[in-house]
Amino acid sequence: MKKLSIVVLSLLLPIMVFGSVFGLKPLPYFKLSPNLLRDTIYVPETLDIYVVEIGETEWEHETKFTFEYLPYHHGRPQIKHVYSHVDFGDGWVPFVRGDFEYNASQLCTAFSIGIALDEDELLVFTSGTVEYDDFDRLTRFAIIMDDDDFGEMQQIIEIEYLSDTEMQISVFLQEDGETEYQNVEIGLDSQNRMQSQTVYSSTDNENFEPEARFSFNYHPQDTSTIQDFIRYLSDNIVMLMLMEGDMIYGMVTEYTEMHWENPIWKANHKHIYEYDSDLLMTYKKWYSFFNNWEYYYRDSYTYDVHGNMIEEFGEHYQEGEYIDSSRTEMGYTALTDNQDINAPAISPISVSIYPQPFAGSVNILGESKAGGELHVEIFNLRGQRVRSFNMLSGTNFSWDGKDDGGKNLPSSVYFLRAGQGSAFQTKKLMKIK
């Protein structure tokens, strides 16, 4: 087994959770699913969390979030503001706001979270900066919180990439006067996916002791790698800041948490993930270990016609049955390309695909009235790019359903994105046996 020396990666990061900052329930796990932003045109606009007490039937609207975006210029969507709303008895009003800044690569470089005094003024209690290398990979994340209600906290994560799969990461965490350092050793499987993470902690940055271990099993059709995970981490750092630290990447089917009881690792939690025929996640089932593995909780997921996750339904397991616990509903908006009025006009792109669905190969005809060359990318349902190529406008390209490495891809739904400058068009492809 290959190993990386690491101090911490996103799965283990105690990155500041928006919900925790707000003093409310954290945003749910499902927003970390790679399915969420696989089509970057559709982005979250609203998120509402409902809860129901055990034995009750009435749902309580507990939390509300709204998202605002910067003008979209092709590429990565950029969140401008995130609002947490509070119901003071006469309706929901925005109360806490997160503001974000970006670089030329559309990656977040700074953020502030605080009380929204008005549209332009923010009473900041949490702020941070993010840095990247020349390949747009995350290299440094720093966050500071100083608030009378939430206390003081500082966290700095620094990542040095030694190769495509090797990295050196250092973490410094100080909270309420206590300091902690972490080292994490990552084991990779033969496909260069994360197979395990082992966490070592220290209070003096010299004497490290084992603390926790996480292991992963994957779906047979999973094609993810550690490089994909790092790209996802770097591209979506804003979303990660808004979510809980429980993050996976790829089609994980089993995720086990263990803690160190000298001299052995003892498993205490296990998550089982199930997928449908379109390879979309349908269930996440939680188990806790006492004398045996016992049911604890499960989440089920619902999607819209575009494949965006629109509902997470949570249930507690009690006395032999699952009982309603929480429901999260998400609404989306479709971002359209807002070009700079001073930029040269670029004619729209049109793409024709036939036959649909296809078995062996599919014909792709791409056209741009501006002429020239089109850049075409094909993504799977997890948002991973599986194939890319260039083609001249007005010509036909026959795709054989294989990835860039020549590997035959499984039957599933794929998304094709043909672009030229800031103009693009996205199409859905369906591959069958």
| Per-residue model confidence (pLDDT) at position 149 | 54
* Ranges assigned E (strand) in 176-292: 178-188, 194-202, 209-218, 252-261, 264-275, 281-289
| Per-residue model confidence (pLDDT) at position 155 | 87
Dist. CA 172–CA 164, nearest whole Å: 24
| Per-residue model confidence (pLDDT) at position 207 | 94
Taking 90 as the threshold, does the pLDDT of residue 260 lie above it?
A: yes
Dihedral class, residue 278 (left if φ above 0, else alpha if ψ from -120 to 50, else beta): alpha
At 80-117, the pLDDT tens digits run: 999 888 887 778 888 888 999 999 888 999 999 888 87
At 372-410, the pLDDT tens digits run: 888 888 877 666 778 999 999 888 899 999 999 999 998
Assign 9 a pLDDT band (cuts: 50, 70, 90). Answer: very low
Which DSSP string do the residues of 59-74 spell out, in sequence order?
-EEEEEEEEEEPPB-S
> What is the fold, at CATH topology level, of the domain defined by 349-431?
Immunoglobulin-like (2.60.40)
Dist. CA 380–CA 346, nearest whole Å: 28
Contact 409, 380 (CB under 8 A): yes
| Per-residue model confidence (pLDDT) at position 78 | 87
- Residue ranges matching CATH 2.60.40.10 in the chain: 349-431
Q: 3-class SS at 429?
A: strand
* Residue count of the chain: 433
Dist. CA 38–CA 206, nearest whole Å: 41
Assign 39 a pLDDT band (cuts: 50, 70, 90). Answer: very low
| Per-residue model confidence (pLDDT) at position 120 | 72
At 273-326, the pLDDT tens digits run: 998 887 788 999 999 998 889 999 999 999 887 777 889 999 999 888 999 999
In Å, what is the CA distance from 382 to each residue of 87, 409, 416? 36, 13, 13
The fraction of the chain above a pLDDT of 90, given in percent, is 28
At 120-134, the pLDDT tens digits run: 778 888 899 999 998
Task: Please state, as a whole number, how many other Cβ atoms lie within 10 Å of the Cβ of residue 52.
Answer: 17
**Residue 233: its H or E element:** helix 226-235
Taking 90 as the threshold, does the pLDDT of residue 256 lie above it?
A: yes
